């Protein structure tokens, strides 16, 4: 009987974490599982993977036309979402990815201005 309760408890925690992870709002994150899942998803918003996903997502949704001059604004918006993390481990994992994106945006803007 206790194994069934353990499994049910784990299932409920997982379901709660999935429900709470929305980037468009949702219940306040209360459990460790909810915060870890949220951070894991947010880490995919940043770094090299985040850049690729932002472009693909923007093109598919129509939020990004493909005009490279619009890309810095799209990436800044994506980067800001990626900065909101709930765990210390998530913040540590994000540091290098955030630096990479910031440098990428600086380089892109310099190239667009003809400076590099």
| Closest by CA position to 89, among listed 42, 48, 36, 49 | 36
Second CATH level (architecture) for the domain 35-112: Up-down Bundle (1.20)
The pTM assigned to this predicted structure is 0.74
pLDDT digits (tens, 9 = 90+) for 69-116: 999 999 999 998 888 898 999 999 999 999 999 999 999 999 999 987
pLDDT digits (tens, 9 = 90+) for 9-58: 554 555 555 555 555 556 677 788 888 888 888 898 899 999 999 999 99
Q: Is the pLDDT of residue 4 over 50?
A: no
Query: Alpha-carbon distance 101 to 99, whole Å?
Result: 5
* Tokens 């799209």 sit on residue: 74
Q: Answer positive or negative: Cα dihedral of 19, 23, 27, 32.
A: positive
The pLDDT score that the predictor gives to residue 113 is: 92
């Amino acid at each position: 009987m206790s194994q069934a309760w353990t499994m049910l408890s784990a299932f409920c925690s997982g379901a709660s974490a999935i429900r709470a992870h929305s980037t468009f709002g949702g219940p306040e994150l209360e459990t460790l599982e909810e915060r870890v899942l949220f951070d894991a998803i947010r880490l995919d918003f940043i770094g090299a993977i985040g850049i690729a996903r932002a472009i693909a997502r923007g093109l598919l949704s129509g939020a990004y036309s493909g005009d490279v001059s619009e890309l810095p604004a799209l990436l800044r918006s994506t980067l800001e979402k990626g900065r909101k993390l709930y765990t210390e481990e998530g913040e540590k994992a994000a540091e290098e990815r955030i630096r990479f994106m910031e440098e990428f945006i600086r380089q892109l803007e310099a190239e667009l201005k003809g400076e590099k």
